[in-house]
Chain A
């Protein structure tokens, strides 16, 4: 690892200052960032640790929204009573991210801010019309995930919470990459306002909503025949574009079946 300075701010306000004034990089769970730093693939001058900010931890019920604060770990989301009651599919999703050790450290804020093209959380955000709250605004998920490893976050902007609608009709289905265990393809299916939502990760270019698939589901058509744009997909040593597209149909169907 290259040298950097570590800061542990006592408040969000202090974190904002350290990030904007000292060119600090936010450090959340670090489960992605640490391996990146160890491989010397990044050279931040300062890291600003958000994981000790109590004001960024926990889950709140705000009317019909489940609000998960940014530094809440996957393990805490998976076991949180409010999440399990009001949006159980989200708890299921969180319980399958990475591995148990990763889930104790990794956070929702870090996951959505990183927007790995094979990450789990972005699908739930997109499918459920989540709002990503930052220290300066609230961004709808459909505008947040711009392209892989990229988001609408401005320089120094901190994810403070992700707000999901309560939802009893949702399911996350993951087909793991045999090596990394990240999603080779995973689909978050939900019924929102009577409409089907299908959000896909693992395609290679970043999370996306499969709107033709949603329409097919809602009109009683088959996913197998629904249009699916090749532009969302890439091939690599693990799977070709063609196979990823096929898996998308199969996994989406399984998610829908589980939805009932």
Chain B
């Protein structure tokens, strides 16, 4: 018997294996689940931005129909439930550890942002829970609120955490300040700019949801939660919160309707619901509505930065200084300290050889929703800072924006930047040329003239980005303050009939892992895709993993490849006995074990059977079965990079900005599945365009209310607002993992905001405009220009 191999190749645009259930409406999201005896939770939330809680009346609501339990912050504290941790320790310039404001799952005596949970009602129906939550009377003593970093750091600002002076969590720096000062002292040109990176609401279309069930008999806790890192959450819920012993805690994250970082964090609501589930008999479910999502899903970005670039007379970069105030919200969220520091300042070199860089970052508390990772997480902020200042420099030195970038590109790899990272590989000039060609850069003048003939202003924008992805490496992360390893595990199980299960700790919530991880296996084993299952998201099946965020699927896929290689090694050992040849003479190719020394060939499925039959080889030497596990901890980060060129057309009468074209040239290293990777870029670019043109989480400076708190007021990108994108990939393989991959999930959201704003500024002939470039802002700039 010789079964022909029908595997697919890594790098092929294989259609997605997981599509069927989603297309048939058979996806399984947390809110789809109703457990026997299901109970429902609703939260009492603060309508105030900053206030002391002076009274909480639960007597009436406690007796309302269907109410099983009302839980308060004080009860949680009395029960010993710890505060929510921030997972990354940052040390200030003066050596002081960062100042962490205590964040309880339910506020105890003070509320610090609109929407902060105060109490939790569990009832038999969702309506009953909401009725009772609405009936809870809370007395507040209003305190002055600060929503902006400038307000929060003013001398007159009220302290948000009484013990934290200046509302400053840390004042941190990176790079060599003295070297940067020298660079500036000698510079022919110094360009300075102040810019804001607008606050965003992640808005995965599936809201957060949890269903927690405690079995008092077995003392087992099962938590269904829409999350990007269920295995990590099991560890947190066990080790940090003591909600159950880790071996008796099953965390399940089934189908997840988009994450973008917002479902990678530890949230107070989920902790409170899980705690409550242990107090009532029956599973407790909570699904956020969109209003709750706007108010409480960790927001993204919100930086205010002064940046300066020093250049020589030829337009070569000599030094960069950035002084950033990051609004972290009312509390430090899970990665709230990491995102504006090591995810941000480490990327300030961009694609350029800049001899001296210094960054200062102050993390400022405010009476707003906590800020954490959102698609890109620190890297979009860095990319925006550098790509804007470079563009302004090009404008002021009279150098073409593409040329000034080309002149300063890093050309030798690996390249050690002055800000921690050592870039592994790349060919920045190649992606620049690819992007310029795709965009027909030389043809811009003609298109601009054509637009002008129609009364429109046309602009072109170039942005080059680089990012660090593929985290781990765990050891390097620990040196930077990381508290947990960030490897990934894979277990590859080959069944006796030759079908394969891959159990991964990575978690796909749209990225297509069921296809791309299976492609690694199919390519390696020659097994058809339909015979491979990729299993994720359930700690009862997968024991170890660290989740999906930060464009790190390459880590899990590399673990998968290594486990596959172990399987093949074992197959070769078995083959030595079945084929009666030396180990070194056994080859495995296209799904067949063979040897030049033997006429016998063994197909992969036959080997699977033989491994389980365990009769043709000595089982004291080689154990039966065909299962392998790998934990892959990458030796270094990966550094995807690319160049985006876009054109905008502005209606000067109304200020409307239309994205006329968008071309992306990305170096993602080796690409597992171009179809899926293109989809990732489409989505990322669209979110970046959303940030640049429409999206803005805007708090009222007087009341602290979130004003853009629904899809009626928060400008989400729609199909009609974005163009068809043109993409090209030009891969230089990463040496940081065996597949040569770099990561693609966040690139689009990192490179596109500066590309758009550069194009807008180019169209208007202005130095800068803050995001979002709303019609009114643009109209005012047009008016000013006309007046001048």
Contacts and interface: CB of A to CB of B under 8 A. Distances in A.
Q: Which DSSP category, helix, strand, loop or mixed, fits chain A's interface?
A: loop
Given A178-B694, A179-B713, A237 B654 contact: no
Given A40-B134, A239-B776, A178 B715 contact: yes
Given A178-B775, A179-B716, A243-B779, A237 B134 contact: no
B774 A178 contact: yes
Contacts of A178: 693-694, 715, 721, 774-775
Interface in A106-154: none
B134 A179 contact: no
B759 to A, nearest CB: 18
Contact of B713 (A39, A237, A243, A246): A237
Most buried by B among A180, A240, A243, A247: A243
A1 B127 CA distance: 8
Contact of B712 (A1, A180, A240, A243): A180
A96 B103 CA distance: 47
B779 A179 contact: no
A188 to B, nearest CB: 18
A237 B698 contact: yes
Contacts of B134: 40
A155 interface: no
B654 A180 contact: no
A70 B713 CA distance: 29
Interface string B707-728: 1100111111010010000000
B653 interface: yes
Interface string B754-784: 0000000000000000000011100110000
Contacts of B776: 239-240, 243
A237 B721 CA distance: 20
Interface string A226-255: 000000000001111001001100110000
A247 B654 contact: yes
A247 B651 CA distance: 12
Contacts of A237: 698, 707-708, 713
A240 B783 CA distance: 15
B10 to A, nearest CB: 41
Interface string A28-72: 000000000001100000000000000000000000000000000
Contacts of A240: 776
Contacts of B708: 179, 237
A132 to B, nearest CB: 27
A179 B694 contact: yes
Given A237-B698, A250-B653, A250-B654, A180 B779 contact: no
A236 B711 CA distance: 16
A84 B693 CA distance: 36
B369 to A, nearest CB: 17
Given A237-B707, A239-B776, A243-B779, A180 B713 contact: yes
Nearest to A181: B718
A40 B130 CA distance: 10
A182 B713 CA distance: 10
Interface string A174-191: 010011111000000000
Interface in B383-438: none
A216 B711 CA distance: 38
B774 A179 contact: no
Contacts of B711: 179-180
B715 A179 contact: yes
B488 to A, nearest CB: 38
19 contacts: A1-B127, A40-B130, A178-B693, A178-B774, A179-B694, A179-B711, A179-B714, A179-B716, A180-B711, A180-B712, A237-B698, A237-B707, A237-B713, A243-B775, A243-B776, A246-B779, A247-B654, A250-B653, A250-B654
CB-CB nearest 5 A-B residue pairs: A179-B715, A180-B712, A178-B715, A243-B776, A250-B653
Interface of A: 1, 39-40, 175, 178-182, 237-240, 243, 246-247, 250-251
Given A175-B654, A251-B654, 19 more contacts: A1-B127, A40-B130, A40-B134, A178-B694, A178-B774, A178-B775, A179-B711, A179-B714, A179-B716, A180-B712, A182-B712, A238-B713, A238-B774, A239-B775, A240-B776, A243-B775, A243-B776, A243-B780, A250-B653
